[in-house]
Amino acid sequence: AQKITQTQPGMFVQEKEAVTLDCTYDTSDQSYGLFWYKQPSSGEMIFLIYQGSYDEQNATEGRYSLNFQKARKSANLVISASQLGDSAMYFCAIETGFQKLVFGTGTRLLVSP
């Protein structure tokens, strides 16, 4: 069965600094996808970035990039130039087939001025 592990319950970063949120996964599938979602205090789930297992390049979306290390089964999210609005919960997820997602327990990021 697929599993996502997010070992950082909380992270702190100063505004304008970069931060890395860790995500490791476990799967026996050869083809899979990894997603990151953001959940601000208002509660909605916002899609940030996707990485396919066969993608040779690390995914990037604006200030978000995914440090994908397939051999280590890690898919860390890097947020560059943090902003106060980045304060939120961040969830890593793996697609398990039929587009189902298995989520990690999340990391709460707090950006300070």
Partner 1 sequence: DAGITQSPRYKITETGRQVTLMCHQTWSHSYMFWYRQDLGHGLRLIYYSAAADITDKGEVPDGYVVSRSKTENFPLTLESATRSQTSVYFCASSESGGSSYNEQFFGPGTRLTVL
Residues that bind partner 1 (CB under 8 A): 4, 33, 35, 37, 43-45, 47, 50, 52, 91, 93, 95, 98-106
Identify any residues that bridge with 39 across adjacent strands, giving them in sequence order. 89
Q: How far is the CB of 101 from partner 1 (least distance, A)?
A: 6
Instruction: Give helix then strand counts, H and E, for the chain.
Output: 0, 12
The residue (of 86 and 95) whose beta carbon lies closer to partner 1 is: 95
Q: How far is the CB of 19 from partner 1 (least distance, A)?
A: 20
What CA–CA distances, in Å, run from 62 to 1, 4, 59, 70? 32, 24, 10, 22
The residue (of 106 and 109) whose beta carbon lies closer to partner 1 is: 106
Q: How far is the CB of 43 from partner 1 (least distance, A)?
A: 5
Distance CA 8, CA 96 (A): 23
The residue (of 12 and 47) whose beta carbon lies closer to partner 1 is: 47
The residue (of 17 and 54) whose beta carbon lies closer to partner 1 is: 54
Q: How far is the CB of 17 from partner 1 (least distance, A)?
A: 26
The candidate with the shortest Cα–Cα distance to 14, out of 111, 96, 100, 103, is 111
Distance CA 26, CA 3 (A): 5
